Amino acid sequence: MGAVPPSDDGQTRIRRRHWTLAGLACLTLVFGVLAVLSPVRADAPVVNWPKAGSAPTSTVLPLSPYRPLDIDATIPCQALNSVGADGGAALNTHPADGPGMNVTARSGTARFWVDGQEVLVDSLRTSCVYHVRADAGGVRIDRDGVLLLHRADLLPPQVSELSTQAADTGGLAVQLHPDARYESTPTALKTVLLIAHGLSLFALLVLAWRVWRGTGPGMRFPRFGAADAVVLLVSVAWIFLGPSNMDDGWYMMMARNAGENGYMGNFVYMFNVTENPFVLSQYLLQVWGELGGWSLWWMRVVPTVCGLVTWMFLRVLLATLLGRAATLRAVPWALLAAHLLWYLPYGTTLRPEPVIVMCAAATLVFAEAAVLRQSIGALAVATVCAALAVTASPSGVVAVAPLLLCLPWLVQWLRAQPWAARVAAVLLAAASATVVVPVGFADATLADVVEATRVHQWYYLSFSWYEEFQHYNTLLNTAGWARRLPVLLTLAVVVVVAIASGRGGMGRDPIRRLTLVSVITTSVALVLIALSPTKWVNHFHAVAAAPTVLLAAVLLRSPLPRRAGLVVTGASVLLLVGAVSLSFAGDNRWMPFTDAGQRFGEHLNLDSMTNNLEPHIGPLYLRNPLIWVGVAVAAWLWARWRRRHGQVVRVGPDRAVLGAASFGAVLLMLALFVVAPIGQAPGWTVARSGVQAMAGGCGLASDVRVQLPAGRLGPPGEAELSGDFATTAPPLPTSPWEEPTTIWHDERPDGSSTGTGRLATGWYPIAEPAPHVTVPVAGRLDGQVLEVEFATPAGVVTETLHPELRRSALREWQQLSVEVPAGASALRAVVVDQVTGARTWLAVAEPKLTDDRPVTELTRGRAVLANHINAPLWPCVDQVGIRDGITDTPVVRLTADEGLPPEWLDNISNLEWGGAWVGTTREWVQTRLHAELPGGPPRAPWGNVFVIRYLHPVGQYDLRVPTEIRSSLERFPTLADNDYPDIERNAGTQQSESDSEAR
């Protein structure tokens, strides 16, 4: 019998519900749009120099972004007249020759420089006052109210200091507004609108679920089993054992600094612009970090929970799609292998991908529920999940793939519905997507998001969708074997399934249907990820949800038809063998920090051509395709034997290769990361540090030791100087020790001499012994003679100093230490500069006796900058931040090493990428201390410890932070312009090479 049509009253009620849904969806959309467009309460910091009641004192003021919104400087003529007969600066906003403002006097003239251009020369009077005003309208200079210059083409000058050489500073003053455009909080109006939007969206989803819950089978929830226990156990263990990611500290610092300045800034690059609307994962990290601290193990709980929730969703998906076949014992174990194949190399990162994969898995489940039950309500929930994925990162667009697969039945459903239902469904979809509003726009304006997007595209390495091949180039050129394998295996399986589906389809087998659906979803996701503007290997993890299901399906049942034929089978097996072999051709290197103790090859050898890090057992390399061909042939022979004896064949050549590669890779990963910390014992490891941090340990700070002054040297004899060595003003403006010290150098910047010579300091009596002596050096260090001589009862003993040659020492000191021989009574440093040419000078400071002490004696109570690579391993330090458009001024800096290129460690000052700390680094001189991470077998260099000293005192200004109401559409001068940081070319896609050169 057919279904009984509803009565007229019933149709009226249904129609009323549809229009109610449409009205509620409209209300949600209106609230969302109004929330985006509503004003915010923004910080408007003001800096006044000098401090109230004080005379002007030169001070460091590193702005980030580099230029203030406006600056107003008052320079009395008496200040210019008092800079000295040889001339000097009455006001600098930047070190000499930099892109700031310099107001100087010489030979009776006042000279004004902005961004390296001399914009005004004026005859200097005895009594007058100059005013310099710079803002979005340009630079204006007047004298006693008479306008002398207006340059509309000039930007406000960059500011990293406010300094003066004037003797008479009366009346000298500066007021400026740092660019803190992104520091804002919702107004009361915006808060009300956000709450109203959230309530209306929740009510809309509930009503849509009730009205359009659909008919047919519901989702099935599997019982907790052994495979679930294994996933839980491995996931918890992986919090401590899992590999580190180069970006973990970066994302953690975004989250940590957001608590200080009130918005999610980039912290490292692009002037610390907001990351909105892609901030979901950082918000989760921020909340979690503020609850329990910022150690790596604690922060990894967030991606671990995401991984477990993903597993739960995928278990439900397979139980639902497979029906009775889900009760097969192999099902959870196949899913386990596929899940861990992706999770183990990628899953514990603090990057956004774990959140994206979780949202994508949820989208898969609810989209499948929508298809099975013809439920628009479930489809709305799936839309919410996909939209949330996009708020984590642009690569979150991959979560839309399951929704696209719903379009065919959705179109059919819409055609069969009355207009009220159609309108309501379309509005419901649009309203569901507005879940991005409270995440992406709660504390950001529309103008903020538009400008931040431009800045990201301008300064960061960005690619168009049609350049997706760069993604795969990066995978093959930079990724290790375990990060290659799930991606390449997925691609190979997609091609194999495509071949198989052309040979008769998938039939009615639920596993084959699962294979076909998941391969289409995977293919769409791989196409969608091309829309992501960046092409790093980490982004591949975003697609993991659908490929995990796909790999589980083909592990359960061969993707090939029963009678595929020799050609199809052979081609498919060769594709799989090629993918597996190419994957295992990658190195087994796990930087940063989790490479210590790893097996295969010479991990202390940084030369990838000779270190032999590819997985192998003796001469047997897993990259060798003959191994995997052998697996396939063995499986084929075994299957042939079983067929001849009338037995069922369950594993063919293709599944044998898939199974051996998948289960083998999972077991190999587990073994490597369990054995690594054991092999490195008793030395420091991430795993040991995580366990210690649970009990109150402080990560690397618990083990790192540095050479600090100890003992005492007596007064030295007379130094022996030859060649160009002298004690004139040194090339570096700060001392490498806390107190003033004698510095010898041979710099001859005028080229009048070769800049070579020999220095032998006087003999220093050892008054109070200490284990080591430390000598600070700077300049061109390679090719030089650097030694310490000791007077001992057996005669003079010479020890060679070994500088760090991978870092330039032209702008920093290096403290080099050697042990003091037993019985030594005196010592001296002997250096010979034998390198000629420009910038080959050598500087040496007085030696001191030192002893290795815990690094906590250096960091305790001090402002510390742990860099974006190793920050999670320094949870107890007083980490600096960026607030009110000004960077903090750390006095200790901690960086990673491990053979990484030095420029990676200094990304904070990468000018072409808008490094957020450029101004700070221009004002400091670093002293690299001799630091060690003792214990255990030899390991790659662990990192660096620097003491920072500034060109001027810090904090000699007043800062007020009033607030103002700001429209969501109010735009500030753009940062996405090469004139802003004063660079010749940018890294993004907006500007071609020729355009950059034209500038």
Q: Cα(924)–Cα(160) distance, rounded to whole angstroms?
A: 11
Distances (CA, A) of 427 to 18, 196, 212, 377, 399: 11, 17, 14, 12, 20
Say whether pLDDT at 51 is over 70. Answer: yes
Instruction: Provide the 8-state DSSP code for 865.
Output: E
| Residue 399 token pair | 């979560």
Residues with Cβ within 8 Å of 560's Cβ and at least 6 positions away in sequence, in order, are 496, 499, 500, 503, 568, 569, 572, 652, 654
3-state secondary structure of 645: coil
Angstrom distances, CA of residue 932 to CA of 2, 242, 244, 929, 972:
82, 24, 21, 10, 47
Cβ density class 783-816: b for 16+ within 10 Å, e for less: ebebbbbbbbeeeebebebebbeebebeebbbbb
Q: pLDDT tens digits for 150-193?
A: 999 999 999 999 999 999 999 999 999 999 999 999 999 999 99
Q: State whether CATH 2.60.120.610 applies to domain 1-212+957-987.
A: yes
Question: Is the Cβ–Cβ distance between 713 and 766 less than 8 Å?
Answer: yes
Mean pLDDT, rounded, for 417-429: 91
Write the pLDDT tens digit of every residue in 483-517. 999 999 999 999 999 887 755 555 578 888 899 99
Tell me, what's the pLDDT at 996?
34
User: Is the pLDDT assigned to residue 756 strictly greater than 60?
Assistant: yes
- Helix segments in 681-720, DSSP class H: 686-694
Residue bearing tokens 């040419």 = 837
Contacts of residue 765, defined as CB under 8 A and 6 or more positions apart, other chains included, come to 713, 714, 715, 825, 826
Nearest alpha carbon to residue 376 among 521, 207, 545: 207
Average pLDDT over residues 857-883: 94
Share of the chain above pLDDT 90, in %: 75
Whole-Å CA distances, 831 to 484, 814, 869? 49, 14, 35
pLDDT tens-place string over residues 531-565? 998 899 999 999 999 999 999 999 998 888 777 77
Report the run of H or E that residue 277 belongs to, with start and end: none
- At residue 135's C-alpha, the angle toward residues 130 and 138, to 5°, is 80
Antiparallel, parallel or unpaired: β 88-92 and 963-966: unpaired
Q: List C-alpha distances in Å: 179 to 157, 258, 261, 539.
A: 12, 16, 13, 32
**Residue 707, token pair as written in the block:** 């050479």
Burial label, 965 (beta-carbon count in 10 A; 0-12, 13-18, 19+): exposed
Question: DSSP string covering 926-944, please?
Answer: EEE--EE--SSS--S--EE
Please give the pLDDT value at position 75: 96
Distance CA 395, CA 398 (A): 6
Give the least confident one: 67-81, 396-410, 637-651, 712-726.
637-651
* Topology at the third CATH level for domain 706-857: Jelly Rolls (2.60.120)
Query: Does the pLDDT at position 962 exceed 70?
Result: yes
Rounded Cα distance between 263 and 558, Å, is 50
| Cα angle: 696, vertex 702, 707; to 5 degrees | 155
Whole-number pLDDT of residue 691:
93
Average pLDDT value for residue range 381-389: 97
Whole-angstrom CA distances from 991 to 535, 988, 994, 997 are: 18, 7, 8, 10
**Both tokens assigned to 379:** 């489809």
- DSSP string spanning 46-93? EEEES-TTS----EE--BSSSS-SEEEEEEEHHHHHTS-TT-EEEEES
Query: Does pLDDT of 991 surpass 70?
Result: no
pLDDT at residue 983 in the model: 87
| pLDDT of the residue at 880 | 95
Contacts of 407 (CB under 8 A, 6+ apart): none
Compute the distance between CA of residue 61 and CA of residue 889 in angstroms, rounded to an integer: 9
Taking the CA atoms of residue 479, residue 480, residue 483 and residue 485 in that order, the dihedral angle to the nearest 10 degrees is: 110
pLDDT in tens, 286-329: 999 999 999 999 999 999 999 999 999 999 999 999 988 888 89
Which whole number is the average pLDDT over 81-100?
88
Residue type, 430: A
pLDDT at 2: 43
CB 42 within 8 A of CB 184: yes
So what's the pLDDT on residue 12?
Answer: 79
Phi, psi of 958 (to 5 degrees): -100, 140
pLDDT of res. 640 = 81
Structure-block tokens of residue 598: 């790893």
Per DSSP, the residues of 469-487 read HHHHHHHHHH--HHHHHHH
Please give the average per-residue pLDDT across 914-932, as a whole number.
95
Length of the chain as a residue count: 999
What single letter denotes the amino acid at residue 785?
A: V
Q: Please say if the pLDDT value at position 595 is more than 50.
A: yes
**pLDDT tens profile 784-838:** 999 999 999 999 999 999 999 988 899 999 999 999 999 999 999 999 999 988 8
> How buried is 474 (Cβ within 10 angstroms: 0-12 exposed, 13-18 middle, 19+ buried)?
middle
* Cβ count near 566 (within 10 Å): 7
Q: Which residues of 873-896 are buried (b: 16+ CB within 10 A; e: fewer)?
A: bbbbbebbbbbbbbbbbbbbbbbb
Q: State the pLDDT confidence band at 3, using cuts at 50, 70 and 90.
A: very low
Backbone angle region of 622, left / alpha / beta, with phi > 0 → left and psi within -120 to 50 → alpha: alpha
Q: Provide the pLDDT for residue 10.
A: 66
Exposed/middle/buried for residue 541 (C-beta within 10 Å: 0-12, 13-18, 19+): buried
Decide if 94 contacts 157 (C-beta within 8 A).
yes
| pTM of the model as a whole | 0.93
Residues 282 and 392: their CA atoms lie apart, in Å, by 8
Residues 713/829, Cβ–Cβ less than 8 Å: no
DSSP assignment, residue 876? T
Q: How many CB atoms lie within 10 A of CB 494?
A: 20
Distances 472 to 469, 479, 609 between C-alpha atoms, Å: 5, 10, 21
Mean pLDDT of the residues in the chain: 91
CB 639 within 8 A of CB 651: yes
pLDDT at 816: 97
d(CA 853, CA 850) in angstroms, rounded, equals 9
Phi, psi of 569 (to 5 degrees): -65, -45
State the DSSP code for 726. Answer: B
The pLDDT value recorded for residue 993 is 41
CB 369 within 8 A of CB 551: no
Contact 417, 410 (CB under 8 A): no
In angstroms, the CA 380 to CA 431 distance is 9
Do the domains spanning 1-212+957-987 and 706-857 agree at the CATH topology level? yes
Residues 649, 553: Cα–Cα separation, whole Å: 17
Query: Could you give the C-alpha distances from 466 to 37, 375, 430, 525, 527, in angstroms and in order?
Result: 34, 36, 28, 15, 10
Candidate ranges 130-144, 318-332, 459-473; pick with highest mean pLDDT: 130-144
**In the chain, what's the furthest Cα-to-Cα distance?**
114
Cα–Cα distance for residue pair 259/282, rounded to 1 Å: 11
Which tokens belong to 844? 């040496």
What DSSP string runs through 327-344?
GSTHHHHHHHHHHHHHHH
d(CA 748, CA 731): 10
d(CA 533, CA 208): 35
- Non-local (6+) Cβ contacts of 805 within 8 A are 781, 782
Element (H, E) at 857: helix 856-859
pLDDT reported for residue 990: 43
The two tokens of residue 750 are 């005028």
* Residue 626 clears pLDDT 50, i.e. is over it: yes
Q: What pLDDT does residue 261 have?
A: 86
**Domain boundary assignment for the chain:** 1-212+957-987, 213-242+273-596+618-680, 706-857, 861-955
Residue 719's CB is within 10 A of a number of other CB atoms, namely: 18
Region at 354 (left for phi over 0; alpha for psi -120 to 50; beta for the rest): alpha
pLDDT confidence bin for 463, thresholds 50/70/90: confident
